[in-house]
């Protein structure tokens, strides 16, 4: 048991290391026209519902395409999977693609969802003396390195006159971060939904600030470059199905929460709160949204989260 725990913490430490270490050189898996491998996180409600209903399998079977689902604990790990060729398609937040692109990952942005700034937040314990972001100076803050919340933390600190160097980041995956938060090993936790909603409902965590007026918190659909180039029909089908499912969720939050509860292992009321914070709709990539991505890339470069400057438009599907 001790060895398993040690290995888990070692793995978490490796995953949270610098971009170059996050994405080591690895051989790309051969493109397989008869297989679609989708990377997802259990918190990605739209994809989780699509998976549980088997709708993609039914639509792709006549094309002779098998669907394989691969679960990841967070966006940076999913992008690592995309980089080393273990998946063809994935759904992540706005920050992981920046880290992945800086490390040379071969992907294209193929779709995005409208901003969801309320769906991530900086949390503190309910009885914490911390009353504002400025009070985080000198405090230990838990977060998943290279994820959306890394950008939220950086921008929230900047807005409140605190230098990033004046806090002590504790890089932890969501489950480990929640444990550290509950034990008081960290003073604050920056996290996304449904983990945010779960902490609010289950342990009375207090939202210090969410992303409103600070960050967009877009969610993106990404595809491995060769897959995107050779199977635009499958990419379109995926995005259409995601859009349809997201529209249904927005109109049927209670029913969606009831379906997701046993899959995600969370109470219905937690999922209702979480789902209410995500606007519906999947849209084609635009120059404007990649311009917003460039702002994140510039901040991450300044903070040395990524090792070099990048141009986010280099990851846009080439126009015919």
Domain ranges of the chain: 2-114+218-315, 117-210
- Nearest one of 208, 167, 214 to 191, comparing CA atoms: 208
Can you give the pLDDT at residue 211?
96
The structure's pTM equals 0.83
Taking CB atoms within 8 Å and a gap of at least 24, the contacts of 4-12 are 9/176, 12/172, 12/173, 12/176
Can you give the pLDDT at residue 177?
97
Can you give the pLDDT at residue 32?
83
| 230's tokens | 């050779």
Can you give the pLDDT at residue 29?
54
Which of these CATH numbers, 3.40.190.10, 3.40.50.10860, 3.90.1530.10, 3.20.20.70, describes 117-210?
A: 3.40.190.10
Tokens 């917003």 appear where?
292
Can you give the pLDDT at residue 30?
65
Can you give the pLDDT at residue 280?
83
CATH superfamily, domain 2-114+218-315, is Periplasmic binding protein-like II (3.40.190.10)
| 292's tokens | 């917003």
Tokens 């141009």 appear where?
311
Can you give the pLDDT at residue 56?
94
Q: Which pLDDT tens digits describe the chain residue by residue (320 residues)?
A: 444 443 333 333 333 333 333 433 333 456 788 899 999 988 888 999 999 999 999 999 999 999 999 999 888 889 888 888 899 999 999 998 999 999 889 899 999 999 999 999 999 999 999 999 999 999 999 999 988 999 999 999 999 999 999 999 999 999 999 999 999 999 999 999 999 999 999 999 999 999 999 999 999 999 999 999 999 999 999 999 999 999 999 999 999 999 999 998 999 999 999 999 998 888 999 999 999 999 999 999 999 999 999 999 999 998 77
- Cβ proximity of 148 and 208 under 8 Å: no
């Amino acid at each position: 048991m001790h060895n398993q725990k040690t290995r888990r913490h070692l793995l978490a430490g490796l995953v949270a290391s610098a971009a170059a270490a996050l994405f080591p050189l690895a051989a790309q898996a051969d493109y397989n026209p008869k297989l679609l491998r989708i990377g997802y996180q259990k918190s990605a409600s739209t994809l989780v519902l699509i998976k549980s209903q088997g709708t993609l399998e039914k639509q792709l079977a006549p094309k002779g395409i098998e669907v394989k689902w691969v679960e990841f604990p967070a966006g940076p790990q999913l992008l690592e999977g995309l980089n080393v060729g273990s998946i063809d398609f994935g759904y992540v937040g706005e920050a992981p693609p920046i880290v992945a692109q800086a490390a040379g990952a071969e992907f294209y942005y193929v779709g995005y969802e409208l901003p969801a700034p309320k769906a991530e937040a900086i949390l503190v314990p309910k009885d914490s003396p911390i009353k504002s972001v400025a009070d985080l100076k000198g405090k230990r803050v838990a977060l998943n390195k290279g994820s959306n919340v890394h950008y939220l933390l950086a921008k929230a600190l900047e807005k409140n006159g605190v230098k990033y160097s004046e806090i002590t980041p504790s890089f932890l995956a969501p489950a480990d971060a929640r444990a550290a938060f509950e034990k008081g090993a960290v003073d604050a936790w920056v996290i996304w939904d449904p983990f945010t909603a779960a902490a609010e409902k289950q342990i009375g965590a207090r939202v210090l600030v969410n992303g409103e007026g600070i960050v967009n918190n877009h969610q993106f659909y990404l595809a491995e470059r060769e897959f995107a180039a050779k199977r635009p029909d499958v990419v379109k089908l995926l995005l259409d199905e995601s859009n349809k499912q997201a529209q249904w969720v927005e109109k049927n939050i209670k029913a969606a929460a009831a379906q997701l509860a046993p899959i995600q292992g969370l109470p219905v009321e937690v999922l209702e709160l979480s789902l209410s914070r995500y606007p519906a709709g999947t849209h084609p990539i635009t120059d404007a949204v990649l311009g917003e991505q460039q702002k994140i890339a510039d901040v991450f470069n300044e903070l040395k989260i990524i090792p070099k400057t990048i141009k986010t438009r280099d990851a846009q599907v080439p126009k015919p």
